Structure 1
Amino acid sequence: MQQRGELVGVGSMVGLVVAILLAETGTAGGGGAFLAMAAIVAVAAFALPHAYWLRADENGIILVRLLVPRRYAWADIRGLAMELGRDEENDGHHLTLRLRLAEPSGRFRGPRLGRIDVTEEDTPEGVPPRALAELFAVFVEHQLPVDLPEFANEVLRVRGMPQLPPLPLWAPPVEGAPGPEQAYAGAPGIQDERDDLVALGKAVKRRPGLSREYLLRRAALADRVFLRDGDGLALAIALRAAEQLVEHDRIKVEGDHRDYVRQQYLSRRTLDR
């Protein structure tokens, strides 16, 4: 799924440098240097796009890039990040796919799996590659979320594969989601919670099972900081932290995701009493 044009450009630059070095050092004549450059460009155009493989098994995903394998356990995978973009030079549209991992947190910080061209409407272009459909099918099988389910479902439909399962919808309590005063009553002080989260963040690296507690407490703390300070940056941080908890729990929340954070935080504190 890697675009051949990107690699041809890189190969051309490398080939040009090699040809100049060969010519200047006298290692090869003009013809030999040209052939060396052509060979490097050919490798970039035809070999490198196929120089990585992606394989899934019961334990996780193995990504082999440039013959170097790396395993990502299912417990560490939070979903498939899909980022739509536009090339300024040729005005083309593309889709970049990455694994979303529990650590480091962040939407597009996982390993890149590939990039494909899409239409101006950001829909699949022509007949989607089977490799792309099989990638989505892996996430269907393991019930992991993808960023653009409508795009993925269209690819799967064209290839005759099962669609992504809908995420369960979170329903707030009948009396409504708790307000911040109720949700955070009796919570530790903000600075104390910050200190605890630093220690908990380190513990998560050794015990991944603590990641859910870490995400919940971090989202609640970010919400409390916004309620105290009320500035735009604090709100953006609180909304993103709430979104990460929702993504981890693999559910769908309509409206403000902080309602879910407050309800879950209150439930956790009630159980701990």
Structure 2
Amino acid sequence: MQMRTDLIPVGVLPMVATGAVLVGTRAADGFTAFVVGFAVGAAALFAAPYTWWLRADGQGVTLVRCLLRRRFGWAGIDGLAMEFRREEESDRQVLVLRLRLADPPGRVAGPLVGRVAVTDESTPSGVPPRAMAELFAAFGERGLPVEEAGFANEALRVHGLPPLPPLRVWAAPAEGAPEPERAYADAPDIAAESGALAGGRQRIRQRCRREHLLRHAALADRVFLRDGDGLALGVALVAAEELVRYDLITVEGDQRRYVRQQYLDWRTLNR
């Protein structure tokens, strides 16, 4: 799933390089060098789609990039990450798709599996690629979550494929979600945690994004519990919603309950 304009350099660069070598070494005149260079560029452009190949089957997802083959079994995939991004060079809106892997844990975004052009409103541009819709369908059939489900369902609808299943609903443990006193019992000082998160914001990578969102949501919850004002509550609720959206689940009621449970689990694992 590459955009056609992305393939232009694949053909132009070999063409120019071949022509320059032939002319520079006097192996051919200008016209012959142009013809040979054009043929080389066309061959490279024709082969380009085969350097980016994606296939989903009953066992998992196979990705081939730059002739390197990687295989990801369904058991090791947590879902499909989707990010709308505006490219500075071309000023166009694109959708970037990545696998969300189960290992290492934390619902991290894994390898790039596709990039397609979308409208400025982050909706499908024209008819969505059939391959992308089939990828959404493969995830839906296995109950794996897909980010931006609205976009995915529109692509599925256009190609006559069934919509994605609803997101799973988070269920609190049988004893209930932990109270704040238990969830944050050994949490670092609020000022220290705030400084640590602020200092690492510019260095955050995709692999630690989930941890950052969790710590930020827990910190916002703790600030509200300490101060008790309306603004702090709003910040805490927004931070909790960001974590829930990232985890691709549905939480009924106060989403801060989910934050407290996840923070307690995270602290337990990282002691």
Q: TM-score, normalised by structure 2?
A: 0.68
> 1:199 corresponds to which residue?
none
> 2:206 corresponds to which residue?
none
> 2:101 corresponds to which residue?
101
> 1:40 corresponds to which residue?
40
Three-state SS of the structure 2 residue aligned to 1:111 is strand
For these two proteins, the number of residue pairs brought into alignment is 234
RMSD: 4.2
The 5-angstrom pairing of residues 232-271 of structure 1 reads 243=243, 247=247, 251-253=249-251, 258-263=256-261
Cα distance change on mapping 1:95 and 1:246 into 2, 3 Å? closer
Q: Is the 8 A contact 1:246 1:257 kept in 2?
A: no
CA distance in structure 2 between the partners assigned to 1:108 and 1:258 by the alignment = 22
Q: Within the alignment, does 1:25 sit opposite 2:25 as a pair? A: yes
Once the two structures are superposed, residues 101-133 of structure 1 have per-residue CA deviations (whole angstroms, 9 ceiling, x without a partner) of: 234678885222222121222111222221111
Cα distance change on mapping 1:28 and 1:105 into 2, 3 Å? farther
Cα distance change on mapping 1:154 and 1:22 into 2, 3 Å? same
Q: Is the 8 A contact 2:23 2:33 kept in 1?
A: yes
Three-state SS of the structure 1 residue aligned to 2:110 is coil
The 5-angstrom pairing of residues 147-186 of structure 1 reads 147-170=147-170, 177-185=177-185
Structure 1 position 170, deviation (Å)? 2.8
CA distance in structure 2 between the partners assigned to 1:253 and 1:151 by the alignment = 21
> 1:126 corresponds to which residue?
126
> 2:9 corresponds to which residue?
9
Cα distance change on mapping 1:90 and 1:61 into 2, 3 Å? closer
Once the two structures are superposed, residues 241-261 of structure 1 have per-residue CA deviations (whole angstroms, 9 ceiling, x without a partner) of: x938972xx522368755314
Three-state SS of the structure 2 residue aligned to 1:7 is helix
Structure 1 position 44, deviation (Å)? 4.2
Q: Within the alignment, does 1:138 sit opposite 2:138 as a pair? A: yes
Q: Is the 8 A contact 2:168 2:249 kept in 1?
A: yes
Once the two structures are superposed, residues 63-82 of structure 1 have per-residue CA deviations (whole angstroms, 9 ceiling, x without a partner) of: 12344321012222121111
Cα distance change on mapping 1:58 and 1:42 into 2, 3 Å? same
**What residue ranges of structure 1 are gaps of 5+ in the alignment?**
191-214
> 2:203 corresponds to which residue?
none
Q: Is the 8 A contact 1:100 1:106 kept in 2?
A: no
**What residue ranges of structure 2 are gaps of 5+ in the alignment?**
189-209, 227-234
Structure 1 position 179, deviation (Å)? 3.3
Cα distance change on mapping 1:97 and 1:253 into 2, 3 Å? same
CA distance in structure 2 between the partners assigned to 1:221 and 1:4 by the alignment = 40
Q: Is the 8 A contact 1:82 1:148 kept in 2?
A: yes
